[in-house]
Amino acid sequence: MSSPRRACPVCRRDIAVVAARFARHDPPGARGSTELISCPGSQTTAPLDPAVQPSLDGYAPPVFPGQLPLF
């Protein structure tokens, strides 16, 4: 299963979001040297996406105020 992708706030590229953080990535463009340089947006906390609905194995629980019954 692939990770959801969102635009990095620094370089605006679509980057995978893993554990609520942007995955480590290089800045756009060709590298000037052989050294690996991460984008400043790497490993930063990703904002919550309001369009994504929480689900569990494809099942989205209905939204109820208060606590859900156990059985």
Using CB atoms within 10 Å of the CB of residue 8, give its burial: 0 to 12 exposed, 13 to 18 middle, 19+ buried: buried
Structure token pair of residue 5: 């992708």
pLDDT at 60: 67
How would you list the strands of the sheet with 14-18, edge to edge?
5-7, 14-18, 21-22
Who's near 2: CB < 8 A, 6+ residues apart?
16
At 68 the pLDDT is 67
In this predicted structure, what is the pLDDT of residue 50?
Answer: 57
pLDDT in tens, 19-55: 888 888 887 777 777 777 788 888 888 877 656 556 6
pLDDT of amino acid 71:
72
pLDDT score for 24: 84
